[in-house]
Structure 1
């Protein structure tokens, strides 16, 4: 009877998990803008709170001004990026010509020294923009359709942000009524922890982006790469995609160095500098700044990135860590789910020590105590 109940419980849990994943996948166009709006609301809430308390602004004015500042910052950032990218597009023919020349020189070298043939490799005509567009028409059409969806999100996300900020007390009261069996003080603790973990993640990520952006830019300046600050901060901004973002960001300056410099070693130098900075960022900068405020172990972080990327694509990779950190807090406070919260969190020292060494130390300690008693 007991085994039957356990089997039923496992089957119910598995079915619920599959149903939740299915719903998250189907409702992707609705859920992603909603989650992005929540995170951005947490980011600008201190501005609204400051205006309400220090400047004595009413909530409507404070919400409107905070949202305007956020949108203005996004528009300025987008303008700078697209303005710089347009310069590269205007000179794309020159860059393609230079890269194709390096390509043919490399092929000639390999053909002369190793007997490789060029028959099935890329030709100069394949690198032309019109041929790239022709061969990738379906992908470009898909990109245009996604751009329409993006424009729709740019409209709906600010609306979500406005109501999250303006109706925040109303939504808190809704949570109280939804979990009526729980005390308000316990719900407030959970909500406060979720807010602080998101705020710490965002503020820490901002600091890391600034530091890494400066380091990238200095490294590119030392190599003599043009537009060093654009490339440096563009790669740093891609830290929004943990672990692999800065690797993606290094490709563009490496190709630019390949197209504008006389030696391939400049491109190799760019990749080497970005790899070194990524090593510093992952092992020293981010742990030092973020610390244990977003306590997710590396295994769960990587796993969540893979799972959310499969579920929601690039947007899932950006949202993976904030959502996982929130789940940890919820699991820690929901009876029966504490084990999952423990699995997400950082292991303590005793979980990382070798048990064989612990037994050896304990055995030595017992021998020393026995020797002391005998003496």
Structure 2
């Protein structure tokens, strides 16, 4: 088979995989979440099995119950706090409108655009918006592949993955016997496990640190509900790069509504942006280290592509999936170049022309 035909078949295979991934997303997405979360709670299962000598089924059940209870508690606290904020939405709207009237008046004068064309005549009542869109929200929650169905299916898949883990590993050995020997497969599985575990544990640690820093920043500015907004924004780190930007909008609006100066809202966005910079350049690299070694370009590109494929769940799954693919690429001879492209660029690839010329000049001078 010629090289051109081989490339054409490879491209056709990629297109087919993407098409199947899109077509079966309602099945694949909860399955992938279950795999990643199974890696997260596996140490708990192992603790109950080895240290407390519990039966495997009992150990898995207890671990999933603990995990589900923590998730439920977090969402219950968010829901209660958000309900309180929603009850003040009309008050906040009036306060924001009073402070933005001068800005809109200036826009009317300079641009000839009516303020009614921008904000409309209706009151901003969050509860009314929810009621009006309930016919869209309920199907989204209950349809196949929706939030509630995923919430039910993922723990079930987690239970089965953890219960049949040895059997599934044996299957992988048999399925990859034509490509890798058993030792190589074991090495790849070990690397995949470490990548996912480091990513998830690192993400939880980063969320806690960023949430605390956000809260301190909001406390210094005197913004209402500092810990709620601080940790809510940190939870949105599940959506890399974009989440913290979205999370800063609501506290900025609250600052605009409750403070005398516009600069408080600017300060909220500035603090969150600064914390995002610290998180991306110091906190995350320090905690996760080189275990999830994706460069920024590959990370952003994967988020964009997976969001196009699966929406918000795709944005959340983008980095762990891409990191896993990099492990496979790095251990496959014909795909190592793709693994190199996804990896972190070393300092030598960022050398400036001036440094390069200086290096050449020094070599010439030494030769003379």
TM range (shorter): over 0.9
1:123–1:365 distance in 2 versus 1, CA, 3 Å: closer
2:203 to 192, 205, 212: 205
Aligned residue for 2:334, secondary structure, equals coil
More displaced stretch, 145-154 vs 114-123: 114-123
Tell me the residue number matched to 2:91.
Answer: 94
Residue range with higher mean Cα deviation, 345-354 or 330-339:
345-354
Contact 2:90 2:124 in 1 (8 A): no
Comparing 37-46 with 259-268, greater Cα deviation is found at 259-268
**Counterpart position of 2:314:** 316
| 1:205-284 pair list within 5 angstroms | 205-284=203-282
Give 1:169 shift: 0.4
Structure with greater Cα Rg: 1
Correspondence list, 1:1-375, <5 A: 5-111=2-108, 117-118=114-115, 120-125=117-122, 127-128=124-125, 132=129, 137=133, 141-148=135-142, 149-181=146-178, 182-354=180-352, 357-358=355-356, 361-362=359-360, 364-369=362-367, 371=368
Instruction: Give SS of 1:125's match.
Output: coil
When structure 1 is superposed on structure 2, of 238-247 and 260-269 the one drifting more is: 260-269
RMSD of aligned Cα (Å) = 2.1
Deviates more, 1:353-362 or 1:226-235: 353-362
CA distance, structure 1, for counterparts of residue 287 and residue 97 of structure 2: 43
**Cα offsets for 1:245-265 (capped at 9, x unmatched):** 101000111111122223322
- 1:356: how far off? 7.2
Q: Does the 8 Å CA contact 2:40/2:197 hold for their aligned counterparts?
A: yes
Gaps of 5+ in 2: none
Which is worse superposed, 255-264 or 287-296?
255-264
- Per-residue deviation, residues 312-351 of structure 1 (Å, max 9, x unmatched): 1111111101000000011111231111111111122333
Normalised by the length of structure 1, the TM-score is 0.91
Q: CA deviation at 1:359?
A: 6.1
Worse overlay, 125-134 or 258-267: 125-134
1:78-101 deviation line (CA, Å, top 9, x unaligned): 100101111112222222222222
| Contact 2:208–2:234 (Cα < 8 Å) also in 1 | yes
Question: Structure 1's 248 and 118: CA in aligned 2 closer, same or farther, altered over 3 A?
Answer: closer
Cα distance, 1:141 vs. partner?
3.4
Distance 1:118 1:301 in 2: 40
Deviates more, 1:319-328 or 1:87-96: 87-96
Runs of 4+ residues over 6 Å off in structure 1:
none
Deviations 1:267-324 (A, max 9, x none): 1111111111111111211122222110111111111011001111111111101000
TM-score with structure 2 length normalisation?
0.92
Distance 2:130 2:235 in 1: 28
**Residues 173 and 185 in structure 2, CA contact (< 8 A), matched pair in contact too:** yes
C-alpha distance in 2, partners of 1:345/1:307?
A: 17
